[in-house]
C-alpha cells in the first residue's frame, strides 16, 4: 500500500464515502492553492477571450467537469434522500444534476466578461481546504469567494464555492430539500422537475 | 407620518398577521433526519411566511422590479454608483453607532473616517474616497449588535416589503430606523421630501443591485422561497461571524500600515 502514497490513500478514503476521515495537511493546502490559482486563470481566460458565446460555454463546461467533484456535490445536494433513492434513481439524478449544474454555471457566461480574480490564502480545515479569493466584476463591488477543495481520487477537486458567506451546495441542498418536503419526499418528482428545468434551459 | 413609524407599524402588523396564518407541522420525532432539517431551517412559521413571500413577490414583479430595471436602464452605472455611495454615506452614522455598541474600535474608526472623508472630500458622499485610502466599507446594524451581545435570532420571519428577517433582526431594523439622524431633521416640507426620497431611493438602489441574482434564483431554484431563506440566513451568519472576530489594530494603509 505504501507505494500508493498518502494522497492516493486519502483519495481512496474520500471515494469510499468518507468512511475514513480525510485530514487536510500543509502540502495539500499548497496543492489546493495552486489548483485554484490555475482554475481561476483558466476561467478568466475563457470569459475574456472574446470568442463566440457557444465556444465559451463549451470551454467552460470542460473546465467545470475537470475541476469540480460533480458526483460528490450531487450526492451532497440530495442529502438524506440519497439513501432512500433507488440505484436507478441515484444514477438518473446524478446525470441530470450534472446537466443542470453546468448549464446554470455557463448560462450567463457573457455577464462575466471583464472579470478578474485576486487569490487569497489557503487554509486547511478538518476535511477540506478553503482557498480564498476576491472576484472583481466591472461595475460591481468586489466579492469575497472561498473555494472548498478536497482531494478526491488523488486529485484536488472543488467541492463547494462560498460566495459572501453563502455556500452553493448548502443552498442547493435546502432548495431540493424544500421541494422534496412539498412533494411527499419523492425523489422521482425531483428528478422530473430537474429534467423539466434542463429542457427549459436548452 | 414619518417613514420610520410606517416601518414599525408594518412590522407589528406582520407579527400579528403571522399568528393568524398558523405554524408548520413539525416532523414526527421518530424521523431524526427530518427533525434535524426542521431545526436547521428554523422556520416554524413557514406557512405564514410563504403567504407573505407570495405577496412580496407579486409586488416585486408588478412594481419594484420594473422600477429597478428602469433605474438601471435610465442611469449610467457611474451615476448609480455615486447614488449608492451617497446612500451609503447617509447610513454611516447608524453603522458607527453599531460599531461602538459592538465594542469594535477599529471598525468604528473605519466608519468615522469614511463619514468624515466622504462627506467632505467626497462631496457629501457622492465619491467614496475612503475605500481607496484604506478605510473599507463594512456592514453593521442593530440586529448584528444584538447577535454580538449574544441574543438568539428566533424563528425565520418573512417581513412584508422588507423580506427575510427574524425577531432579533426585525427589532434591530426598527431601532436602526429610529436612530437614523435623518429622522431628527426639523419638520418641514423639504425635509419630508428628503426623507421620503432617501427611503425610496434606498429601496430602488438595493433592488437594482440584485436584479441579476434574484432573476437567477427565480429561474433556477425549484423552491425560490427556500433558496432565499437559505441564502439570507447563511449571509447573515457570515456577517455576524465577521463582526464577532477579534480586531487587530493596525495603522490604516494610507499611513503605511497594512490592512
**pLDDT for A145-199, tens place per residue?**
999 999 888 889 999 999 989 999 999 999 999 999 999 999 999 999 999 988 8
Nearest partner of B46 among A133, A172, A178, A86, judged by Cα:
A178
pLDDT tens track for B122-155: 998 999 999 989 898 999 999 999 999 999 999 9
The x, y and z cell numbers of residue B2, run together, are 414619518
With an 8 Å Cβ cutoff, are B223 and A175 in contact?
Answer: yes
CB A189 within 8 A of CB A92: no
Distance from CA of B190 to the nearest CA of A (A): 32
For chain B, which residues lie within 8 Å of any Cβ of chain A, measuring from their own Cβ?
33, 37, 41, 77, 81, 212, 216, 220-223, 225-227, 229-231, 234-235, 237-239, 241
Nearest by CB to A171, which of B231, B237, B238? B231
pLDDT band of residue B189 (cuts 50, 70, 90) is confident
Number of other CB atoms surrounding residue A201 within 10 Å:
14
pLDDT tens track for A41-95: 999 999 888 888 889 999 999 999 999 999 999 999 999 999 999 999 999 999 9
CB A28 within 8 A of CB A7: yes
For B208, counting Cβ atoms within 10 Å of its Cβ (0-12 exposed, 13-18 middle, 19+ buried), the class is: buried
pLDDT at position A17 is 41
Query: Given a cut of 70, is residue A10 above it in pLDDT?
Result: no
Q: Is A104 on the interface with B (CB under 8 A)?
A: yes
pLDDT at position B250 is 67
Distance from CA of B2 to the nearest CA of A (A): 32
Query: Given a cut of 50, is residue A32 above it in pLDDT?
Result: yes
* Average pLDDT rounded to a whole number, residues A117-139: 87
With an 8 Å Cβ cutoff, are A174 and B239 in contact?
Answer: no
Cα–Cα distance, B8 to B1 (Å, whole number): 12
pLDDT band of residue B190 (cuts 50, 70, 90) is confident
With an 8 Å Cβ cutoff, are A179 and B216 in contact?
Answer: no
pLDDT at position B92 is 95
Cα–Cα distance, A107 to A152 (Å, whole number): 27
Query: Given a cut of 50, is residue B84 above it in pLDDT?
Result: yes
Q: Give me the percent of chain B exceeding a pLDDT of 90.
A: 64
pLDDT at position A28 is 81
Nearest partner of A64 among A161, A173, A189, judged by Cα:
A161
pLDDT band of residue B186 (cuts 50, 70, 90) is confident
The x, y and z cell numbers of residue B197, run together, are 426620497
> What are the DSSP calls for B116-184, one per residue?
HHHHHTTGGGTS-HHHHTT-------HHHHHHHTT----S-EEETTTEEE-HHHHHHHHHHHHH-GGGG
Query: Given a cut of 50, is residue A12 above it in pLDDT?
Result: no
CB B142 within 8 A of CB B108: no
Place of cell 475563457: A46
CB A125 within 8 A of CB A104: no
Distance from CA of B205 to the nearest CA of A (A): 13
Cα–Cα distance, A4 to A18 (Å, whole number): 18
Minimum CA–CA partner of B228 in chain A:
A171
On chain B, the residues whose CB falls within 8 A of the CB of A104 are: 220
* Average pLDDT rounded to a whole number, residues B11-16: 53
Query: Given a cut of 60, is residue B15 above it in pLDDT?
Result: no
Distance from CA of B209 to the nearest CA of A (A): 9
Query: Given a cut of 80, is residue A140 above it in pLDDT?
Result: no
Query: Given a cut of 50, is residue B232 above it in pLDDT?
Result: yes
Pairing outcome for strands A155-163 and A143-152: antiparallel
Q: Give me the percent of chain B exceeding a pLDDT of 70.
A: 87
Query: Given a cut of 60, is residue B258 above it in pLDDT?
Result: no
Residue A133 backbone dihedrals phi, psi, to 5 degrees? -155, 160
Cα–Cα distances (Å) from B28 to A52, A141, A173, B25, B34, in that order, read 54, 45, 21, 9, 8
Cα–Cα distance, A3 to A154 (Å, whole number): 13
pLDDT at position A116 is 87
Amino acid at each position: 500500500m505504501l507505494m500508493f502514497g498518502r494522497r492516493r490513500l486519502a483519495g481512496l478514503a474520500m471515494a469510499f464515502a468518507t468512511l475514513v476521515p480525510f485530514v487536510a495537511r500543509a502540502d495539500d493546502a499548497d496543492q489546493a492553492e495552486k489548483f485554484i490559482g490555475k482554475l481561476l486563470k483558466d476561467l478568466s481566460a475563457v470569459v475574456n477571450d472574446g470568442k463566440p458565446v457557444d465556444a465559451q460555454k463549451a470551454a467552460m463546461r470542460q473546465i467545470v467537469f475537470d475541476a469540480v467533484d460533480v458526483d460528490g456535490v450531487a450526492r451532497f445536494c440530495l442529502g438524506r434522500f440519497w439513501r432512500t433513492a433507488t440505484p436507478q434513481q441515484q444514477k438518473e439524478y446524478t446525470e441530470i444534476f450534472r446537466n443542470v449544474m453546468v448549464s446554470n454555471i455557463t448560462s450567463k457566461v457573457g455577464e462575466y466578461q471583464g472579470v478578474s480574480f485576486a487569490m487569497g490564502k489557503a487554509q486547511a480545515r478538518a476535511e477540506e481546504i478553503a482557498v480564498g479569493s476576491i472576484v472583481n466584476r466591472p461595475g460591481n463591488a468586489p466579492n469575497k469567494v472561498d473555494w472548498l477543495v478536497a482531494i478526491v481520487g488523488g486529485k484536488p477537486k472543488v467541492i463547494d464555492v462560498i460566495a459572501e458567506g453563502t455556500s452553493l451546495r448548502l443552498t442547493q441542498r435546502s432548495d431540493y430539500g424544500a421541494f422534496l418536503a412539498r412533494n411527499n419526499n419523492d425523489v422521482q418528482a425531483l428528478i422530473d422537475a430537474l429534467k423539466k428545468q434542463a429542457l427549459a434551459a436548452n | 407620518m414619518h417613514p420610520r413609524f410606517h416601518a414599525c407599524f408594518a412590522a407589528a402588523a406582520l407579527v400579528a398577521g403571522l399568528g393568524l396564518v398558523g405554524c408548520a407541522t413539525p416532523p414526527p420525532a421518530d424521523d431524526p433526519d427530518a427533525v434535524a432539517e426542521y431545526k436547521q431551517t428554523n422556520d416554524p412559521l413557514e406557512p405564514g411566511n410563504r403567504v407573505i413571500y407570495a405577496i412580496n413577490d407579486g409586488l416585486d414583479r408588478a412594481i419594484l422590479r420594473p422600477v429597478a430595471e428602469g433605474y438601471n436602464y435610465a442611469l449610467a452605472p457611474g451615476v448609480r454608483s455615486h447614488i449608492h455611495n451617497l446612500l451609503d454615506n447617509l447610513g454611516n452614522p447608524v453603522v458607527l453607532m453599531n460599531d461602538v455598541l459592538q465594542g469594535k474600535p477599529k471598525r468604528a474608526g473605519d466608519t468615522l473616517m469614511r463619514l468624515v472623508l466622504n462627506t467632505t472630500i467626497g462631496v457629501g458622499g457622492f465619491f467614496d474616497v475612503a475605500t481607496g485610502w484604506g478605510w473599507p466599507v463594512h456592514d453593521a446594524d442593530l440586529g448584528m449588535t444584538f447577535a454580538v451581545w449574544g441574543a438568539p435570532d428566533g424563528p425565520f420571519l418573512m417581513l412584508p416589503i422588507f423580506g427575510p428577517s427574524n425577531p432579533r433582526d426585525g427589532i434591530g431594523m426598527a431601532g436602526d430606523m429610529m436612530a437614523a439622524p435623518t429622522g431628527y431633521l426639523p419638520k418641514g416640507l423639504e425635509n419630508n421630501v428628503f426623507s421620503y426620497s432617501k427611503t425610496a431611493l434606498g429601496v430602488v438602489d438595493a433592488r437594482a443591485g440584485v436584479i441579476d441574482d434574484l432573476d437567477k434564483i427565480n429561474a433556477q431554484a425549484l423552491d425560490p422561497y427556500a433558496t432565499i431563506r437559505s441564502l439570507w440566513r447563511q449571509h447573515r451568519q457570515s456577517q455576524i461571524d465577521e463582526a464577532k472576530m477579534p480586531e487587530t489594530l493596525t495603522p490604516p494603509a494610507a499611513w503605511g500600515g497594512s490592512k
